[in-house]
Structure 1
Amino acid sequence: MRLIQIHDEIYKKITKSGVFIINFSNFYLNELIKERNILNRVRGIYDDRPLQQGKRLFNGHEVVIHSYDELKELPDDAICLILSGYYKEIFDKLKNIEILKQKFKEIYFYADREISYDLYYRHKYKKNALHDIVVFRSAGPASHYMAGWEFSDNPRALFEYMLCNGYNKKYELVWLVCDPEKYQEKYRDVPNVKFISYLWADTEDEVKRSLYYYYICLAKFFFIAQTPIFMRNARPDQVRVQLWHGSGFKGDRAKIVDEKRYDYMTVTSETYASIHAKLYGLRKDQMVVTGQPKNDESFHPLQAWRKILSVPVAQKYIFWLPTWRASEIVTDVKLANETGLPFFTKNEQLKELNDLLTTLDMVMVLKLHPSEKNVQDNEAIKDLTNFVVLDNDFLAEKDIQISSLLGNADALISDFSSVAIDYLVLNRPIAFLMDDCEAFAESRTFHWGDIENWLPGLKLYNVDDMKQYIKEVASNIDSGAKLRSDLYHVFHKFRDDKSAERVLQAFDLHL
């Protein structure tokens, strides 16, 4: 059975006999329909992902997506077309279905403009030696752009470490971002640093497109924290490392198999090596325990943060970083209560909290998840003197990473965000908001069923609990110290500022 890019002759056959789609993708089906109006010729759609199966809406039409088990019913003359960016992975699965091997000599895949360009340039450079190029990407898919995410997180921390230690003398360090002009000025005088746009992957501008694929095809190393799809056709001698953005408590109901999408994933402990291998469908030998480069910054926090962010001077600072409560990829989530915040439902509660903070000479710094726009319409929050909300867009404008601020916090409040695990390296008080724990477990699941036994800090069930925690922090009482100590080895193997160094050593990047 061979994998072949669909071509005109096959399209002609489809107009007569129809086509069977393997793996459903709104994006690729829309792209295909723009090129060839074959929607009314689709005779069946099949997908091996349970969450995709069943009835779905596509462009206002109801479609039924069947499981792979029903592929055995395909007629012998069926034309099977893979609609997936990971078409090679899908083909490998189909090759293992005996009845399909007996029935079909050819399986086809659809290549949109980006895939077509990728295949062209891969062929062009296939005999060229790889260069000392390191490519970084922290952004998710282009369709999910969010301010600040494209130049952030573990790839950003690793990049900055490499610059500080002169790795750019040997390696060309290349960032894939949306708009390169945002960053070029800052690094204009730094040798061997380049910013290019991931949007150039399918641009009609041949100069930009050629530059993009030159780096993608000839780089020795890739360090990413989000989508790996742009590396799908990487050569065996290119090293693709998923640094990810955190090791937390949340699971995922979707079955993900990333084994062939990158070569390695870095984690903070052996426990997370096992958890992430299972969660992302990776082999044990793909897991590398190094720690997270961004956690190194917690040991060297930004000193001028109060002036830059207009935070009042106080004796102590408590940071509150709640997790993302949306269950789908969205860019604007608002909580349906008076405050627009989790945990607090009434503005009067926030006023009482502010009064307590003022009395204790403390400031609470709230940093919401970038996807949540919860306090924009609440004028009452703006009147709170000791309660500061950090807006993601403002931080992005100032080019400030939350990891560079954490070290300024005397204590942390979170819930199930991975930031609690990040902050754990500092061995300072942590508290977890538990008011919607059950609802959260139903929507996302946890790595541990008995989650309360795996939280390295105090549990806060109501506003009074939070007030008590604040008072303890003010009085230097650390009730959660033993919990942190007992659980630290579960979440971290190391407690130092050398994670970026270990990452480079693990993959043999040296001066």
Structure 2
Amino acid sequence: MKFVLFGAGLLGKSYYSLLKDKYNIAYFADNHPEKHGTTFSELTIISPEQISKMNVSVIITSSYHLEIAEQLYAMGIKEFYIPSKYGTAELTRIDLSKYGFIQEIPNKICVVGHHNAGAVSKALVYSNPYDDINVVLLKDSEKNQEYYYHYLSSSLIITQYSEQCGNKKSIELWHGFTIKALYFMSQEKNERSLASSKHDIFKKKTAVCSMSHLYSVFMSSCLHLDFNKFNITGYPRNDMIFKSDGKKMLEQLIGPVKQRKILFYVPTYRESLYTKNGDSAAFINDMLGYDETIFNDFLDENDILFLYKQHAVQLNRKMFKDSKNIIEITDDMLHTSDVDLYEILNSVDVLISDYSSIIIDFLLTDKPIILTPLDLDQYSKTRGLMLEPYDAWMPGEIVLDYNQLQQAIIESLYGEDKFKKDRERLKRITHKYADGNSSERVLALARNLLELDGQESKVLED
């Protein structure tokens, strides 16, 4: 059997190197006409229209897999393959012929979710107060025939990673308040190279959700978008901060918690498949004076559990050795336990981070934050920040070596809350809503876009 890889980009190139020794790959296909007839990774790039004339099977190797699946279905191609998991040469066969003719259901909404790390908005499904819309959550980690069927049969798609949705109505949530510069505002070459394509994707979205006026200003600048495209609804994932039993969900994830206090370290990424920002040695375990034995003893003496979570796109690098006081939260753990990261967030006593958007979300807990921008100067030059100067915006102790970190932890847990007013001020600027009802506002927006507002609708009781 011959295969064609649909998607002649960085992801396609990476998948080709994984798959070429196991499968007979004859071509790449791509939607960009200027690529047709050219060579990419030793293979000729053909147009999508040529696929149906050839005796080949399609493997989708693009982040735009949803739109491509819709495109293939419209071409009469109801069977295709997707890589089962990045890093392996395994494929998953998708056969949509079993569903007969698939057409859009007028009141059906799909939420496209990714890893269970704050991007999968379970709240949109579980907090739906309307009985006239059907909301289905698609998990990116569970791509199968049903996944693509639900996408094709939905009339509106809610995305969080700027997935292309063809001509369907769509709402973009995005996945965080941007402390670091993005796209047109970024200093990073690869990030800027994505700016025009991201602009085009966001421009096609029917609506883009926002957390606040400032959020809309920042994102419209980063993407060169019309400010009026943004709708201030708040983030559904933050509803979990208000409504989840965080301690119970954490114990569901890692087992009984015996320590009195919980720290959570969530740094942003430095190295990914696409970009490299700042200093790759800029994490807590790289701090001047850090010693793992001393750190473990410190946690033990003060009855502290130290949790940490690496960014989903961070190239794998083990930071700490797991112990009774140090536990890594991984995407696989979250997926296996069906726990979202934000369902445990209100159990945390102190957050430690650098430039991650979780800092802004954590403001809703009104708990202390410790900042570790170890590579601030370099990060500002290589990536850039939206919130500058950093120390004027950030509502927490800034620590740059291990002794400072240890002192800041004790102060944050047991000392005077010196940054309470600063957190409250930044929360007012970055969150229009702090009520745990963002999911309902997003779904109300969806109903409006589906033109269901003119119909009678019963809001279900909690």
TM-score (norm 1): 0.63
1:222 corresponds to which of 144, 152, 157 = 157
Distance in 2 of aligned mates of 1:336 and 1:113: 35
- 1:28 shift after superposition: 8.2
Q: How many residues align?
A: 375
- Checking the alignment, whether the CA contact within 8 Å between 1:357 and 1:363 is kept in structure 2 is yes
Matched AA of 1:34: Y
Aligned to 2:379: 440
Q: Please show how residues 116-135 of structure 1 align to structure 2 within 5 Å.
A: 116-120=71-75, 130-135=105-110
- Checking the alignment, whether the CA contact within 8 Å between 2:287 and 2:402 is kept in structure 1 is no
| Secondary structure, aligned partner of 1:368 | coil
- 1:344 shift after superposition: 3.0
- Checking the alignment, whether the CA contact within 8 Å between 1:327 and 1:444 is kept in structure 2 is no
Percent identity over paired residues: 20
Distance in 1 of aligned mates of 2:71 and 2:251: 49
The verdict on how the C-alpha distance between 1:373 and 1:116 changes in structure 2, with shifts beyond 3 A counting, is closer
- 1:303 shift after superposition: 3.4
Please list the CA deviations of residues 442-463 of structure 1 after superposition, one character each: whole Å capped at 9, or x if unmatched: 3321113422222222211221
Distance in 1 of aligned mates of 2:237 and 2:35: 47
Matched AA of 1:353: F
Distance in 1 of aligned mates of 2:221 and 2:301: 48
What residue ranges of structure 2 are gaps of 5+ in the alignment?
A: 1-6, 17-24, 49-66, 78-99, 187-191, 449-456
Distance in 1 of aligned mates of 2:324 and 2:28: 57
The verdict on how the C-alpha distance between 1:166 and 1:470 changes in structure 2, with shifts beyond 3 A counting, is same
Distance in 2 of aligned mates of 1:287 and 1:401: 26
- 1:301 shift after superposition: 3.2
Matched AA of 2:292: L
Distance in 2 of aligned mates of 1:468 and 1:280: 40
Please list the CA deviations of residues 461-495 of structure 1 after superposition, one character each: whole Å capped at 9, or x if unmatched: 22122111111123142121122123222211121
Does residue 303 in structure 1 map to residue 247 in structure 2?
yes
Does residue 461 in structure 1 map to residue 454 in structure 2?
no
2:136 corresponds to which of 153, 157, 173 = 173
- 1:353 shift after superposition: 2.2
Q: Please show how residues 329-348 of structure 1 align to structure 2 within 5 Å.
A: 329=274, 341-344=283-286
Does residue 262 in structure 1 map to residue 262 in structure 2?
no
Aligned to 1:243: 173
Larger deviation, residues 23-32 vs 445-454: 23-32
Q: Please show how residues 325-474 of structure 1 align to structure 2 within 5 Å.
A: 325-329=270-274, 341-344=283-286, 349-372=291-314, 376=318, 381-382=321-322, 384-474=323-413
Distance in 1 of aligned mates of 2:432 and 2:37: 49
Matched AA of 1:497: G
Distance in 2 of aligned mates of 1:442 and 1:484: 26
- Higher relative contact order by CA 8 Å / sep ≥ 6: 1 or 2? 2
Does residue 284 in structure 1 map to residue 250 in structure 2?
no
What residue ranges of structure 1 are gaps of 5+ in the alignment?
A: 1-22, 46-56, 62-80, 85-111, 140-147, 182-194, 199-211
Q: CA-atom RMSD, angstroms?
A: 4.2
Distance in 1 of aligned mates of 2:163 and 2:215: 20
- 1:429 shift after superposition: 0.6
Q: Please show how residues 43-82 of structure 1 align to structure 2 within 5 Å.
A: 58-59=40-41
Larger Rg: 1
Distance in 1 of aligned mates of 2:155 and 2:36: 43
Aligned to 1:11: none
Distance in 2 of aligned mates of 1:311 and 1:346: 33
Distance in 1 of aligned mates of 2:112 and 2:306: 32
Distance in 2 of aligned mates of 1:285 and 1:232: 22
Matched AA of 1:381: K
- Checking the alignment, whether the CA contact within 8 Å between 1:306 and 1:313 is kept in structure 2 is no
Distance in 1 of aligned mates of 2:35 and 2:207: 38
